[in-house]
Each structure stands twice: as structure tokens, then as C-alpha cells.
Structure 1
Amino acid sequence: MSTAGECQSAWRGLKLGSLDDVIGSGTCLILAPHPDDESLGCGGLIAMCAAAGRMPLVVVLTDGAGSHPNSRDFPPDRLRALRAREVLEATACLGLAPDRLVLLRQPDTAAPHDGPGFAAVVARLVGLIRREPTFTAILAPWRHDPHCDHTAASLIAAAVAECSGIKHLAFPVWGWTLPPETPIPGAPAVGCRLDISLFLGAKRAALKAHRSQYGGLITDDPAGFQLPHTLLSVFDTAFETFIRP
């Protein structure tokens, strides 16, 4: 047993690694629970892969339509379409073509953790990986990120890695904001940090493309989601963190 504070301290002290150290010699599939997680946790890595000609595939698990449930101006269908446009723009900022983005459109806050729906998502991703032998890794959020869809993405990625034989790595998102005393099963994870300083501008542009999550666009739902400054400040740095689950 460890604590969130011990994990966060361990992540900050991880050694620097190369792109090959993170994903291997090929490219990767990034499983984002919601539109914006790809830019938060992996924006620099995505841009680095694209610049190296090792085009990753970004798969967004849920539709993101639950961020503003009380908005009349942006009911679920309109919000779903908006968030799809935002992630398309964001990944373009990182150097990806539209055909390197896949939207699975699972319901926000209800991504499957098991059962037939879970098996169907795993089978879909395994099929995508087997079509391209250059995939050497799948990346998804940290298992202990405090959000049910992040947990689902982690479980799905683990199952996909086991079925396809590729490497599974995790990137913490909301785990960075856990109170330090929060108990975490197991010892602090190991991995490496990736220097993304050359791609930080592209990452910032990608994050800004997710306008609906900044609070200035959807104004008729005071209880709606807004990316907190405490989280954004974690990711406005020259490093991204990747750990072994």
C-alpha cells in the first residue's frame, strides 16, 4: 500500500526516456476516456510520434456528452457533436490526419467495465491493432484515476494488451489531483518521463481546442464541468509521464 502523495512524488522523479523507451520501436494506440484526455496526458507524445512519421491512433472511448447535463443551449446531441469537432481539431493541432482518430461513442460516465459491451470494445481495438503491425504499445489512463471512465479505459487497455501482445503503459490524469494522503494499492509505479519541450506549443493549442471544457462557451449550466487550473497547470510542462500499470 502507498499513498497518492508517494505516487506523485515518484512520478516527478522518474528518469527521462526516449520515445522508444516509452512505446517501443513502432507506434501506439492511445485510448482516451473522453475528448481532451488525449491532449492532457499524451499531447506531446502524439505530436512527437507524428513528427517522427510514426503516426499513432487516437481512440476516444466516450462521447463526452455528460459534461454539461443541465445545459439547454447544448443538449446531449449538440454537445456530443461539438466535442467530436473539438477532438478532431485538437488532434490536427498535434499533426494527426482525421483517419487517425476513432470515436467509439460510448455513453459518458457509463463506459463498460465488464460484460458484453466491454468485450465488444476490446475486440474492436484488437482488430484495429492487428490491421497495423507497427503498433507496439497501447496507452490509457492510470488505473487509479478517480473517474469511472478512466478506470474503464485502463481495464480495456489491459485486456487489449493481453490479447494482442503489445506493451501497456498508463498516464495519470486526475491522479495528479488526488489528496496526498489518499491510499493507493501497491507500491508507486515505475516508468519514465518524456521530454516534450519541442512540442509544448502544439500541446497547448490542442488543449485550447477543447473550448467546451473551459467554462466560457457553455454558460447556462453553472454546475457543468470545467477543467480546473490545478489540473491544467500539471500538464503545462515540458514533460509527460508514462508508467507501467
Structure 2
Amino acid sequence: MTASQARNLDGPGTPEQDWQAWPGLRELPVVDPRTAAGAGYPWADVVVVAPHPDDEVLGIGGTMALLAGAGVRITLISVTDGEASHPGSPTLSPDDLRRLRVDERENALAVLGLADIEVVRLRVPDGEVIEHENHVEHVLRDRLRPDSLCLAPWHHDGHPDHDATGRAALAAAEPHACRLLAYPVWMWHWAEPGGTAVPWSTMRAVPLGDELAAAKRAAAAEFATQVGPLSAAAGDKAVLPGHILRRLLRDFEVVLA
């Protein structure tokens, strides 16, 4: 499989105010994943794929909650445990981070009403998904069915783990001819509003409503190791400070159909 173009994910990225000022963001066609997408609905099940603990909540957590509320069975495939989020930390070891991040995800899912979904941890080393891409594909291929809906990262999201996970999901879904909707996370950081690097015509908005949007914000706050610094040390900086979270905690989510 061919690797996607590497993106610079450092710095502040595209400000949320620029996204909000772009008319195209609010003009995206609206889709309800509970009823949309034609053949195959109602879904026998939904398989959500997350490269790291928090990607499922930040990228597609509201959509997951909508589907669960409609009685759809959801399985979360957690590719890594996120143990490499702070490689230079003097405070927490990778084993500490692994344990904490898994617990944080459990708490965040509960906030969204998703405490009872099945979570399958693949335990792929964080930062090395591309080396295990075939394994991820095979696991997903065994899980998916023709009447499944797969929610996976966009395979051009810009983070190597996200891109590899997205490619694996695409390859796994193809032989089943099942529906796949991709979700962006880091795209909002590097992309430019209306820029040609993103296929905007395939994007759809999933409205969350005020109550669910508030629940998603509360769920995101459960990822304490990511949204705040571990300490004042240089290696303990927040991975997801406020300017990043603002792009991910809107009152709607986006999928690429």
C-alpha cells in the first residue's frame, strides 16, 4: 500500500476562526447516518476504527452516539493504545500512558452513552501502524459484512497512523462492498478552507444538536493526558490544546462519503 503525503502537524495550524469564516463549512450537505446511504440500511452493525484512544470521540463520537441511540450495535476497533503520545515525558512512562489512555477512553465513551459497546484492542505499537497495516486490514476484513457500516479515519488525514488505519479500512471494506464513511481529525489542522487537497464535494455534515455537542465536549475533557499538560516539563505539553480542540468540538461532525 502506498503511504500518504506527510503533513506538518506542528504549530497552531489553520485557526478555527478561518474555518468558521468559510461559507463552505456551513453549506455542507447534511446527512443522518441512521437513515442515510441507501442500500444496506438498517445496518447490521457499525464498526468504528480508531488509531488512538480519543480519535473515535473527537472525530466521530457524536455520530456514534446517534447510532447507538437508534439501537445499532457498535464495535470499536482500537488500533493502538496511544502510549507514545509523550515520548519525552519525565512524568509518565509509555506503560503509564497506555493504562491511563485506555481508562480515559472508557470514561469518555460512558459520557456519550456508549459504555456498553464492544471495544477490541489490537495493541499495535503507537506510531507504527504502517508497519502493521496488513494486520489491521485482516482484522477488519474478518469483522465487516456486506451490511456493515465502517467509520474510519480519512486515509489522507495527515497523521501516519491515521492514514495507515484509513487505508486498511478501505482495503478491508472493498471485498464486502460495505459502506465506509471516513472521518477527518488532523485534516482541520493542515488544510486550507476550500483548498484543492481535500475532496469537499464528498463531505457531509452530521448535526449533533446542543445536548449531544455538550456531551461530546464533556467526553473530550476526560482525556486528561491529552488536553492538558502532564507537568510544566517540556516533554509534558498538551497534545490537544484548546486551539486544536476547537476545530473538533463543533455542533456537527463531518464524514467523507
Q: Shared fold by TM > 0.5?
A: yes
Larger RCO (alpha carbons 8 Å, 6+ apart): 1
Residue from 15, 37, 40 that aligns with 2:29: 15
Partner-residue secondary structure (3-state), 1:21: coil
Matched, 1:55 2:73: yes
Matched, 1:93 2:105: no
Tell me the TM-score normalised to structure 2 length.
0.80
Matched, 1:25 2:42: yes
CA shift in 2, pair 1:53/1:79, >3 Å:
same
Distance across 2 between alignment mates of 1:182 and 1:145: 16
Residue from 194, 197, 200 that aligns with 1:188: 200
Q: Which has the higher strand share?
A: 1
Q: Specify the alignment match of 2:182 in structure 1.
A: 170
Q: Specify the alignment match of 1:139 in structure 2.
A: 151
- Calculate percent identity across the aligned residue pairs: 33
Partner-residue secondary structure (3-state), 1:106: coil
Residue from 109, 121, 146 that aligns with 2:127: 109
Matched, 1:212 2:225: yes
Partner-residue secondary structure (3-state), 2:182: strand
Partner-residue secondary structure (3-state), 1:119: helix
Q: Deviations over 1:167-200 (max 9, x none)?
A: 1111111111115299755753413211111411
Q: Specify the alignment match of 2:10 in structure 1.
A: none
Distance across 2 between alignment mates of 1:189 and 1:104: 33
Partner-residue secondary structure (3-state), 1:16: coil
Aligned amino acid, residue 122 of structure 1: E
Contact 2:158 2:186 in 1 (8 A): yes
Q: Specify the alignment match of 1:160 in structure 2.
A: 172
Q: Specify the alignment match of 2:133 in structure 1.
A: 118
Distance across 2 between alignment mates of 1:220 and 1:231: 20
Contact 1:140 1:170 in 2 (8 A): yes
Q: Deviations over 1:32-79 (max 9, x none)?
A: 111111111111111111211113222221121111112233101111
Contact 1:28 1:137 in 2 (8 A): yes
Structure 1 stretch 150-159 or stretch 182-191: which is displaced more? Answer: 182-191
Structure 1 stretch 75-84 or stretch 231-240: which is displaced more? Answer: 231-240
Aligned amino acid, residue 119 of structure 1: N
Q: Kindly state the Cα deviation for residue 212 of structure 1 after the two structures are TM-superposed.
A: 0.4
Structure 1 stretch 163-172 or stretch 11-20: which is displaced more? Answer: 11-20
Aligned amino acid, residue 110 of structure 1: E
Contact 1:71 1:220 in 2 (8 A): no
Tell me the TM-score normalised to structure 1 length.
0.84
Unaligned runs of 5+ in 1: none
Structure 1 stretch 179-188 or stretch 97-106: which is displaced more? Answer: 179-188
Contact 2:194 2:200 in 1 (8 A): no
CA RMSD, 1 decimal: 2.7
Q: Specify the alignment match of 2:4 in structure 1.
A: none
Contact 1:72 1:220 in 2 (8 A): no
